[in-house]
Each structure stands twice: as structure tokens, then as C-alpha cells.
Amino acid sequence: MKDLNVPFIITDSNQYGEASLEEMHTWWSDNEVPIVGEWQFAVERWEEAREQVLLMLERDLVPAFVHRQDGELVLAEKAQDEAVEATDKKKRHIIRRKFWTQLILEMNNRSNLYQNISPGIASWISAGSGMRGVGFNFGATKTYGRAEVYIDRGNSDENKWVFDQLLEQRSVIENAFGGSLVWERLDQKSGCRIKAEEPGNIYDPDQCPSMIEFMVDAMSRMELAFRGPLDEINRKLRTKS
């Protein structure tokens, strides 16, 4: 049985644990289902509670519990919401990193564009185009998979000028790409985007292979289609400055 010096707070009975965060982490890392005084954790909920509390302790948050009339200890509602949010966020990060790792491996078989890019935990990753403020980006969420050229040079007027220069060559670029692209000037925002996108859900493992195949193929063709036009625009900018 665990030590009854409770390493958490029972809010509705004013019982406060005196353990340090390190001691709490050790206590909660134990697989044994605890019995605390007259209250206990339901066995089927112990693993879930333990996972949530360990995530809270990693964020230096002290877990708070209340006890129900049936004698079961449960996470206080606010603490439980925070723990669930932290759990979900951590799971999303793991899924994204795995997805980007596989995508970069596939991309490296087609191009050197992402050769020096590491997988991250965000919903997007980016590689440089050779032109400041213009990136060859991938994006993946629960609704889409996307390859894009994103323009954000820190100046809205300059962004729109670069976009318009590319738009003038739309037919040449799309012919080189081998299909149509979505051109988004985004007049209400600073940046601009040119993308190839399909529906998909990064959190559904059954959809990930086809998403990666589409995104890698689209980016490989976009890189070839945009290299020349971007180099030309870059030369114009240097001449202007």
C-alpha cells in the first residue's frame, strides 16, 4: 500500500500533500493502485488519472482531486480539463513528428529540398527557396494535406508584388507543374500562398500514406516549376535595391 502522506490536494476536505514535485512524480510513477484513507481510486480509472497527473507534474502543476459520494477520488474538473488538454496536445505532437519524419524520408528520395530539415511538432514544416521570405512549405491537419509556396518577406506590399509577378507567369508555372494550382493573394493578410491541396486527416493512420504520397509528389513538381520564376524575381529585387 502507498504512503498515506497524500502527494496531491483533496480540495473538498482540505487535505494538502506536503510532498515535493519530485516526490509526487515518484509516487505517481508507481503502478500500484493507491488507497488513501477512506477513499480510493477505481482500478479502471487509475491508469488514466496517473497519465494525466504525470503530465501535470511535468508542467509544475500540483494535481487537485475531489472525492465523490461513492468514495472514489477524481480529478477536480478544471485540473482534469487541463490534464486532458495536455494529454491530447502531447499525442498530437507525437503523431505530427512521426508523420513529418516519414514525409521527409520520402521527400529525400525525390529531391534535396528537405535534406537538412528536421521533423517538428507543428502542423507545418518549411524549406527555403533561395529567395528570402519565400518558402516551400508542407502543411497537414485533420482536414487537409498541402504543399505550398508561401510568401512572407515582412512587407505586405512586397509580398503582393512577388505574388503578382508569379501570377503573370501562371500558365507557364502550371504547365511546368503539370496541373492547376490554387492561387491565394490573401489581400486581408500580409502573406500570400500558392498551393496544391487535398482533403486528409493526419491523425488517421490509414490516410497518412496517401497524404504523404500526394504532398511529396506535389512539392517535387512545385520546386521544379517555381525555381526559375523565383530566381528571375530575385534578380529584379536586387536590381531595384
- How high does pLDDT run on average in the chain? 80
Q: Is the dihedral of CA 214, 216, 219, 220 positive or negative?
A: negative
pLDDT of 12 reads: 40
Confidence bin at 30 (pLDDT 50/70/90): low
Confidence bin at 123 (pLDDT 50/70/90): very high
Angle at 151 between CA 218 and CA 232, to 5 degrees: 85
pLDDT of 181 reads: 98
Among 80-89, 124-133, 176-185, the least confident range: 80-89
Q: Pick 93 or 86 by higher pLDDT.
A: 93
pLDDT at 71 over 70: no
What residues form DSSP beta bridges with 184? 193
DSSP line for 23-46? HHHHHHH--SPPEETTEE--HHHH
How far from each other are the two terminal CA atoms of the chain, in whole angstroms?
75
3-state secondary structure of 184: strand
What residues form DSSP beta bridges with 128? 135
Confidence bin at 193 (pLDDT 50/70/90): very high
Domains in the chain, CATH or no CATH each: 9-75 (no CATH), 91-240 (3.30.1460)
The mean pLDDT value for 105-113 works out to 97
Measure Cα distances from 81 to 46, 58, 86, 233 in Å: 17, 16, 9, 50
Neighbours of 93 (CB within 10 A): 13
Q: Pick 68 or 188 by higher pLDDT.
A: 188
The mean pLDDT value for 135-140 works out to 97
Q: Provide CB contacts within 8 A for 240, sequence distance 6+.
A: none
